[in-house]
Amino acid sequence: MALRPPAPLINIGLVLARAGGPASTPTERPSAMSPRHPPASPGRLSLLLLVCAPLLGGCLFAGPSHRGPVTAHFDGEKFKNLGDAPRLGVSQLVSAALQEKRGEWRDYEDLPPGRPPPERVGAGTLRVTVINHATVLVQADGVNVLTDPIYSDRASPVSFLGPRRVHPPGIRFEDLPPIDVVVVSHNHYDHMDLPTLRRLEAAHHPRFVVGLGNKALLDAEGFQHVEELDWWQATEVTPDVAVTAVPAQHRSNRGLTDVEETLWAGYVISTRGGPVLFAGDTGFGPHFAMVAERFGPMRLSVLPIGAYRPRILHTVHMGPREALDAHHVLRSSTSVAMHYNTFPMAFDGQDEAKFLLLRLLAREPVRPRFWALGFGEGREVPALAREDVAVRAD
């Protein structure tokens, strides 16, 4: 999620405050040639909604909570981050929102979909396809993994309000290959989109992998194969592919009364050709070094770069600079950008994160392989360098 008020306020407050007026039907959307326009400056009504909407909807939309033994990151009621990510007060967020200018977003563009991905890839091959937001298709060793899938029109608990997508998903739902595993990083509406998960359950019957406390919500939906993991727990998909939940620096809630009561996570997909990190929604923190220490150099890292302004949000939302730092800490052979240019959820503009990333990459002494793929674009990921394979063997 993007503009993150203190955790209780984020999902409902920002979703409703960013509605921008009454919903329109798809046929009422502007054409792809619509001019660029800056979103309206935050007015009194928006700020009032930002603060008050959770009080109206929090209890209604709150999700289940985890109950279990106390651990280093769970006090028996709430989860916590490993790094320094303090909650922000309402006054801090309102002040930050008034001090930073919102970037430009284009009107809806009916972009053509990308080519259908291959049904599967062979042993040792790794292919990545960016669909939209944090939805990425990872194909390796005959297994297809889909991350944080969202095909809905809005990232919201309701269909008539909330941040609305500015382009269709890069791969049509009916063009998806057979989906074996769906990993969900946390329960914010732009990452755990129940309408899309229901479609996947009906069409593909995949295994859903979620953090602690999130299984109950999917079980209540009638999903047949849901597995929840704590950080560092793993599940085997095939003898060649496993999925491990790893720490992320973020928060969770679907309403006012369930703040930090389910686990947020990233996932490492272990393959024959090397590990793949889907970082989930995260700020930069000590967890990246921990992941690198446990798994060695990443063959591929899928890293968020958007929804990073106002900058006060950097502890839970990386921008391009932090994503590039994470690429280096992870010793990633290849990285792919995600979490930008789909939903106008924060103050950074539609193309701001991508262009900043490209400028940063151009300044590097040796340009890293950090791709900002088009939506619907897929590429085969090069193999790990020989020295990185040796590090993994050690």
Top pLDDT among 143 and 28 is at 143
- Looking up tokens 């960013």 gives 18
pLDDT of residue 331: 98
Top pLDDT among 22 and 347 is at 347
Residue 281, class by beta-carbon neighbours within 10 Å (0-12 exposed, 13-18 middle, 19+ buried)?
buried
Tens digits of per-residue pLDDT, 153-211?
A: 999 998 899 999 999 999 999 999 999 999 999 999 999 999 999 999 999 999 999 99
The total number of structural domains that make up the chain: 1
- Looking up tokens 């009906």 gives 202
Distance separating alpha carbons of residues 385 and 297, to the nearest angstrom: 10
Tens digits of per-residue pLDDT, 311-349?
A: 888 899 999 999 999 999 999 999 999 999 999 999 999
Distance separating alpha carbons of residues 238 and 242, to the nearest angstrom: 7
pLDDT of residue 220: 96
Q: Which domain, by its residues, includes 202?
A: 1-394
Tens digits of per-residue pLDDT, 104-161?
A: 999 999 999 999 999 999 999 999 999 999 999 999 999 999 999 999 999 999 889 9
Tens digits of per-residue pLDDT, 223-257?
A: 999 999 999 999 999 999 999 999 999 999 998 88
Domain of 17: which CATH number? Answer: 3.60.15.10
What is the overall mean pLDDT for the chain?
86
- Describe the chain by its helix, strand, coil percentages, rounded to 5: 25, 20, 55
Angle between helices 90-99 and 44-61 (to 10 degrees): 140
Tens digits of per-residue pLDDT, 265-303?
A: 999 999 999 999 999 999 999 999 999 999 999 999 999
Distance separating alpha carbons of residues 206 and 278, to the nearest angstrom: 18
